[in-house]
Structures are given as structure tokens and as C-alpha cells.
Amino acid sequence: MIVRPRPNQFAVLFTLKGSIAKRIAMRTLMLTLLAAAIVLIELLVPSYFAKINATPFTLLGLSLSIFLSFRNNACYDRWYEGRKAWGEVLLRVRSVMRETQGIEDASLRAPLLRNLCGFAHALNARLRGESEARASADWVSPPIDGAAPDHCGQIIHQVGRQCSALESAGVLSPWRYQLLANHLTSLTQAQAVCDRIKSTPLPFPYTLLLHRTIYLFCLLLPFAMAESLGWLTPLFTAIVSYTFFGFDAIADELEDPFGRDENDLPTDALVRTLERDVLYELGVSPLPPAPQPDDYVLR
């Protein structure tokens, strides 16, 4: 995720970090060169362009803008829902930290809280297609079988068994055990939300249709502008293609908010924040360094 002050009017024209311009530069350049070639052909053979009307492009461009806006809104909803799910993870783990303050024996409380921190590490790895067992190995005790299909779920089950044992031993009261069980259920729900976002992309035919329409529109647009605009056609083609390709590329990034693109969610930073909270609660020092953006990018 990009974390930086808002650039001023001059810097905003040249800021590339976090911009989508680098991803679409080649496509925009190719269309601009094509537009220049079409203008040259129009100057040499003007009769070929005399009957081309720009009205259909106006209507198509308006429709395309509406559909692009709809897709970007859908992708942003996925990004924001993923952030809310991770906010729920932090909220519930911190609530467990508060509810377990009455456990005086640190040897009983520490494994429980460290397992929850391991859950956050495992969930982060799960959403990025990495090894959940390897990511959580330093936190989870006793170790969980790495072959488990739902490693995150097994960690929650283990924490649930630990809480149940503490309730049976009289360390936790029944009502406090119920509160902890509710927090664990909410963690499972947050994992389910993240899994749903990760495993359910936007319908492919819809995305494919939008990609094709954008390319066709940008390829044909110079033919409609060549006669009336002349050598201004490449400039306006570059602006239009930058806008349409840019919106499309932004939606591609936001559709999967758990990856490692510059505009994806900073799940590493969220896990590190939770890790620092847990270690501080357990009296561990020094704490790992707080997450900081690297060249304006917070991972």
C-alpha cells in the first residue's frame, strides 16, 4: 500500500511511485505511435477518412466509462472488505489479550497468545500462496501437522482446546470462556471472508469483454479523430488510452488485495503490528521494529 503525503500540483504530474503508469506505458506508447501512423495515412489519402463519424465512439466511450467505473467499484469493495477482515483479526486477538489478563501463570497464557499470533502469520501466508506451516512454525505450540488442509483452522482449534482446558481447570470462569470462544468464532469468520475474496475472482467473461472492448475502442479511436484533429490525434489517443488502461490495471491490482503489488493491502505490516502487541503483552523485549514504508510502499 502506498503511504506518502499528497503531492503538490507540480509533483503530481511526475510522481511514478504508486502510479499505474509503468504497467501501461508500453500499451499507451504503441497506440500513440499507431495514431501517428493513421494521421500520416489520412494526410496522404484523405478520401479514406471522409465518411468516418465520431458519434459512435462518443456513445461507446460513455458506455465503456460506466462499465469501467462499475468494475473498479467492485474491485475496491473487495480491497476494503479484505482490510475490514484483517481489522477484525487485530480486534479479536487484542480482545483475547484483554480477556486473559486474569491468567496469572505466564506459562499458561503465553502459548495461547503466541498461537493466535501464529494464526495471523499463517493466514497471511495462506492468502499469498505460501506455506502456512513454515510461516507460523516459530509461534505455534505444540506444532501442528503441516499436511493439514486448513492450517489456520487447526490453530484456532488448538487455541479452543487450550481455553477449554483452562476452563476445566478452573483458571477461566465459564462466562469468560464463552467470551473467548466468541472471539475465536469471529477469527474463523474473518478467515472465511479472506478465503472467499481470494478464491472468488470477478466473473472472467465480464473482465474479458471489458478488456477486448477497451482495446478495440483505443485502436479505432484515431480513425475518428485523424481528419478533424490532425497531429493532435496522437496526443488525445495517449490521454484516452492512459485513462482506460489505467482504470483497468488498477482494478486488476485491487481484485486480489492480498498480493505483493504496490497498492495491495499491507498484511505484513498488520501481522508485525499484532506480533509487537502480543510480545509486549507477554513482557518480551526488545520488540521487533515497527513496520515502516520502504520508498513509500508499506507491505
Give the count of beta carbons closer than 10 Å to the beta carbon of residue 22: 11
Quickly state the pLDDT bin for 269 (edges 50, 70, 90): very high
What is the spatial distance between Cα 177 and Cα 179, in angstroms, rounded to a whole number?
Answer: 5
Nearest residue to 208 (alpha-carbon basis) of 67, 69, 81, 73: 67
pLDDT at 76: 92
Instruction: Please report, rounded to a whole number, the percentage of residues in the chain having pLDDT higher than 90.
Output: 42
Asked if 115 contacts 162 with a C-beta cutoff of 8 angstroms, the reply is yes
- Give residue 258's domain range: 20-281
Q: What is the mean predicted confidence (pLDDT) over 251-268?
A: 88
Whether 4 is in a domain gets the answer: no
Q: What is the mean predicted confidence (pLDDT) over 107-126?
A: 94
Whether 11 is in a domain gets the answer: no
Whether 218 is in a domain gets the answer: yes
Number of domains into which the chain is organized: 1
Residue type, 112: L
pTM, to two decimals:
0.88
Least confident of 133-137, 143-147, 172-176, 206-210: 143-147
Whether 117 is in a domain gets the answer: yes
Instruction: Please report, rounded to a whole number, the percentage of residues in the chain having pLDDT higher than 70.
Output: 91
What is the spatial distance between Cα 228 and Cα 58, in angstroms, rounded to a whole number?
Answer: 15
Q: What is the mean predicted confidence (pLDDT) over 285-293?
A: 86
Whether 287 is in a domain gets the answer: no
Stronger pLDDT, 287 or 145, i.e. the higher one: 287
Whether the predicted pLDDT of 206 surpasses 90: no
Quickly state the pLDDT bin for 2 (edges 50, 70, 90): low
Whether 76 is in a domain gets the answer: yes
Q: Is 297 helix (H, G, I), strand (E, B) or coil?
A: strand
Question: What is the tens place of the pLDDT at every residue in 147-179?
Answer: 778 999 999 999 999 999 999 988 998 999 999
pLDDT at 92: 96
Ramachandran angles phi, psi of 297, nearest 5°: -110, 120
Whether 292 is in a domain gets the answer: no
Asked if 214 contacts 64 with a C-beta cutoff of 8 angstroms, the reply is yes
Quickly state the pLDDT bin for 229 (edges 50, 70, 90): confident
Strands (E) in 167-211, as ranges, are none
Whether the predicted pLDDT of 104 surpasses 80: yes
Quickly state the pLDDT bin for 82 (edges 50, 70, 90): very high
Question: What is the tens place of the pLDDT at every residue in 25-43?
Answer: 888 999 999 999 988 888 8
Whether the predicted pLDDT of 6 surpasses 80: no
CB hemisphere CA count around 69 (13 angstroms):
6
Whether the predicted pLDDT of 59 surpasses 90: no
Nearest residue to 218 (alpha-carbon basis) of 192, 248, 190: 248
pLDDT at 16: 62
Stronger pLDDT, 208 or 294, i.e. the higher one: 208
What is the spatial distance between Cα 77 and Cα 40, in angstroms, rounded to a whole number?
Answer: 44
Asked if 234 contacts 35 with a C-beta cutoff of 8 angstroms, the reply is yes
Between helices 204-229 and 21-44, what is the axis angle to 10°? 40
Most confident range, picked from 53-67, 144-158, 189-203, 250-264? 189-203
Whether 297 is in a domain gets the answer: no
Whether the predicted pLDDT of 101 surpasses 80: yes
> For residue 162, what is its C-alpha cell?
487450550
Average pLDDT, the chain: 87
Omega cis (within 30) before 142: yes
